[in-house]
Amino acid sequence: MRITHDGWEIIRYEENTPIRKQDTLAVELPLTIQLNGHEFATMVCSPSDLADLVCGFLASEGIIYTLDELQELSIDIERGFAYVTLNRTIDPKKYDQSKRFIGSCCGKSRQFYFKSDVRTAKTIRHALTITPSACYHLMNEMQAMSNIFHQTGNMHNAALCTVDKILFMRHDIGRHNALDKIYGSIIRNRLSVRDKVIVFSGRVSSEVLLKISKIGVGILLSKSAPTDLAIKLANDLGITVAGFIRGEKMNVYSHSKRIVND
């Protein structure tokens, strides 16, 4: 299945003049995960890198921690189903996403968490550093590689990088999905994240920050801005957040010690 629908006929107005043109739209797919024979969750996503998406989502929810816990994973893209079999039984009630948990983060800020967040959020202690010029370079490189965004205007991008280069990118209509695809690829390829950076096109909400924590990356570079709760969590969880990276300017919101002069 293609991730874009090309040749969609539109009427474009330039001032008061209507012009008949063809446009490109992003494809939106509802994907239902069946876990050990039971319906677990349905997400709306772009139909690309779906095995990565499912694997990363399950890891984010605390269902799996390593690739070895997956007995089978298959995608029926035409029907919109992902079939997952674990090598163990689980209690679905334990992963009830409708229940929220009020707890503390590292004994500091009192925040709202899903139960899965309490199980899977990590405090990052990596000593990796990066220069401002490297931050600008990685963001510019990701933007230049964002072909589908340039075609549709509504695609989020995330990239796993070293401080020198982009290793791979994932894109999706959902910013959380793009990060889950990154996480899934890390798990499926058994990659180390100690020396990695994530570059991201979307705003940094508390949910995005928690996903970065679960992945285990200590530096997040975003084109957009964070929320106050995201930065409180970033301070608690040891994550460096740099936002509003445009051209050769950026704001560093937390753990600035990882940003070092050229």
Provide the annotated active-site residues: 106
249 annotated to a ligand binding site: yes
Asked if 175 and 207 touch (Cβ cutoff 8 Å), the reply is no
Residue whose entry in the numeric block shows the structure tokens 């230049």:
144
Q: Which amino acid is at 192?
A: S
Classify residue 204 by its DSSP letter. B
101 annotated to a ligand binding site: no
The strand pairing partners of 111, in sequence order, are 103
Do β-strands 240-246 and 38-45 pair in parallel, antiparallel, or remain unpaired? unpaired
248 annotated to a ligand binding site: yes
231 annotated to a ligand binding site: no
Rg of the Cα atoms in the chain: 19
Asked if 184 and 57 touch (Cβ cutoff 8 Å), the reply is yes
Q: Residue 184 CB: number of other CB atoms within 10 A?
A: 25
Give the Cα separation of 23 and 10 in Å (integer).
7
Give the Cα separation of 174 and 172 in Å (integer).
5
Residue 175 class from Cβ within 10 Å (0-12 exposed, 13-18 middle, 19+ buried)?
buried
Asked if 28 and 173 touch (Cβ cutoff 8 Å), the reply is yes
56 annotated to a ligand binding site: no
238 annotated to a ligand binding site: no
Asked if 64 and 40 touch (Cβ cutoff 8 Å), the reply is no
Feature table: binding site: 244-249
